[in-house]
Amino acid sequence: MSKILIIEDEVDIADLVSLHLRREGFEAVQANDGISGLNLARTEAPDLILLDLMLPGMDGVRLFKELRRFPGTRKTPVIMLTARAQTEDRVAGLELGADDYITKPFSPKELILRIKVALKRTERTAEAVESLSAGSFRFDLPAFVCYMDNLPLELTLTEYKLLLHLCEKADTPCERTELLRAVWGYSDAAHSRTLDTHVKRLRAKLGEHANCIETVRNTGYLFRIPR
């Protein structure tokens, strides 16, 4: 089941789109302003984002740039929703690399169709995705190798998985339980010390980049992309 995030301040439109998406078997998540939209994009890991351009808090174009800057959402397909008058914004959006746009008022049927097309296209390219980059770090995914400043790091598989997970969620705090589940498959926090031990070893191996992994008090850890 694909998850679609709708970032749209006009609640009537967002509700209508959600309804149609659910009817088609999609999972729908809604945000009614730019900031919460960006947060949900990072925490919910949607398969596709419907992004209204005129939003309170943070406008759609700025939000889109943020999405593209962040490794976890860099490749998430985005369909922009625009009013007919916003031609310039629409052009800006497409130039920035939005996958598609649809002009209001639109028919939900047409929108669903466009969503399906965009998802298909991503499925195809996802098969070809073989690397992920975050700042000085680059992951060769098929080879399970992480390069730091273009030199391969000597990591155990667990350290590699931990660093990859942190980098995928860069600039967002990862909770201890989330990391334990993602890296070790544990479902409780009883193994917290295992996590701390591995972070310590990982930091030692990152040398001058050790401070990329920040401790978030009472939460867990965060990978900070060096600016």
Give the interface with Ca ion as residue ranges (CB under 5 A). 9, 52, 54
Nearer to Ca ion, 13 or 148 (CB): 13
Instruction: Please state the closest distance from residue 80 (CB atom) to Ca ion, in A.
Output: 11
Instruction: Please state the closest distance from residue 35 (CB atom) to Ca ion, in A.
Output: 14
Nearer to Ca ion, 9 or 44 (CB): 9
Nearer to Ca ion, 28 or 202 (CB): 28
Residue 130: C-alpha distances to residues 9, 96, 125, 141, 144 (Å): 36, 23, 10, 5, 10
Positive or negative: CA dihedral 177, 199, 67, 219:
positive
Strands 131-134 and 137-140: antiparallel
Nearer to Ca ion, 58 or 183 (CB): 58
Instruction: Please state the closest distance from residue 62 (CB atom) to Ca ion, in A.
Output: 14
Nearer to Ca ion, 52 or 168 (CB): 52
Instruction: Please state the closest distance from residue 86 (CB atom) to Ca ion, in A.
Output: 10
CA-closest candidate to residue 221, choices 183, 166, 181: 166
- Tell me the Cα Rg of the chain: 19
Instruction: Please state the closest distance from residue 81 (CB atom) to Ca ion, in A.
Output: 8
Which tokens sit at 40? 């949900």
What beta strand segments (E) does the chain contain?
3-7, 27-31, 48-52, 78-83, 100-104, 131-134, 137-140, 145-148, 151-152, 174-175, 213-216, 220-223
Strands 174-175 and 220-223: antiparallel
